[in-house]
Amino acid sequence: MEVIEKVFPNTSEITSLGKLEIGGCDVQNLAQKYGTPFYIFDSEHIENVCDTYNTEFISRYQNTQVVYGSKAFANKSIFKIILDKGLGADVVSGGELTLAILCGINPEKIYFHGNNKTEIELKLAQEAGLSKIVVDSFHELELLNSLSQNNYVIQDILIRLSPAIELDERTHKYTTTGILDSKFGFAIDNGDAEKAINLIESMNNLNLIGIHFHLGSPIFSIVPYVLGIKKVIEFLSQFKNLKLKEFSPGGGFAVPYTIEDKTPSVKEYAEAICNTLNESLDFFNMPKPKLIIEPGRAIIGPAGVAIYSVGAIKNIENVRKYISVDGGMGDNIRPALYGAKYEAVVINRLWDERPKEKVTIVGRYCESGDILIKDILLPEIKSGDIIAIPVSGAYSTSMASNYNMIPRPVIISVKDGMDSIIRKRESLSDLFKMDV
């Protein structure tokens, strides 16, 4: 079955009995055990992708550190895999930072991003011993320098630059970050980047050790990385006093969400980034810094699968057939927010691969925009059927909400025929416990 082969986790297969297994676990049995909706994460898939990123980049640029983009999905169990594979963590809040430290990730491998870090968060970072704070604004430079002075420390920092590289229409405008008109970073084109570097030289308690930029996500081509690296290295070459120890072109690596999606392989991303960096550094006779790579979606996205039960079915003749499931925008807002597209399979009807009707899969939330998949061809669906939506591991549960006061779903991991809960299902009482 093409959709299983192309967009489900690595260990997914259809058994001789027509059952879908992920990580050696029968998904239909899991639905009976845990109830729906729930999310499955394939631990072996995550491990394999971590290994691939390490291998492909380090083999081409030995001084590379791969760090996980935690905002895609931060969880103790996931961080344990990240730790075991030698990856660091890219965090964007005090919460993600605290979890990374709690899980034992070396502070030397934690990069603290964010366009508006609070004073409390910056103090937390310094108390944790972070040496990789990625500064995003003039306000943060002044604040961090003052905090460092008060704490009698010289704080190592990277700064985030914006190289104004345009992406194609496949990257949504809300996830395009490396352009001039962006809330992120110091722009090269308007002089802010040069001003920031010169300002840091006059600050006694900040030490600029590296440069970061991030173009957006997902990026379906290697070209923006090539253009971005060339532009940034050329810009940096004018600063003769800059001791560039670390360089990061960010993450944003694309994954296929549908069987039609064409994305570069990890090898192709690695070749483009490493070759361009080496060539650009050699051209300007600059020393070789540590390369920092930040895959988030690429590691966790394809490892996750959302599982729903079908409830109400509404057929408007000659207009549309709506299939309502017991989840939706509360656990995956990406289709409503970004127009994200997904595949789906009816796991209890895998024996009937022939699509019989065009349907729209919608959620249970009180919004007309609560649409998970619009106009997909599937076998005839009945109430009680179980629907699986793959590539749901990134930016779904991490952006989940309690809209309509609905508890967020349970999340489980699977490997070698074993399943375990990695985040409990919320109860109704959980929804009220913070109320006063």
Q: Give yes or no: 366 in active site.
A: yes
Taking alpha carbons only, the member of 107, 105, 111 closest to residue 90 is 111
178 HSE (CA, 13 A, CB side): 28
Q: Decide: 426 and 386 in contact? Cβ < 8 Å.
A: no
Angle at 386 between CA 384 and CA 388, to 5 degrees: 155
Tokens (6 digits) for 255: 């994954």
Q: Give the whole-angstrom CA distance, residue 291 versus residue 53.
A: 13
Q: Decide: 74 and 96 in contact? Cβ < 8 Å.
A: yes
Tokens (6 digits) for 270: 């690695």
Instruction: Provide the terminal-to-terminal Cα distance of the chain, rounded to the nearest Å.
Output: 52
Compute how many other C-beta atoms are within 10 angstroms of the C-beta atom of residue 430: 13
Q: Of 25, 50, 274, 366, which residue is the catalytic one?
A: 366
Q: Give the whole-angstrom CA distance, residue 293 versus residue 212.
A: 10
Tokens (6 digits) for 406: 């609905």
Q: Give the whole-angstrom CA distance, residue 21 versus residue 354.
A: 20
> 155: phi > 0 → left, psi -120 to 50 → alpha, else beta; which?
beta
Q: Give the whole-angstrom CA distance, residue 56 versus residue 404.
A: 45
In three-state secondary structure terms, 293 is strand
String of b and e for 225-244 (b: at least 16 CB within 10 Å)?
bbbbbbbbbebbbeeeebeb
Residues identified as active-site: 366
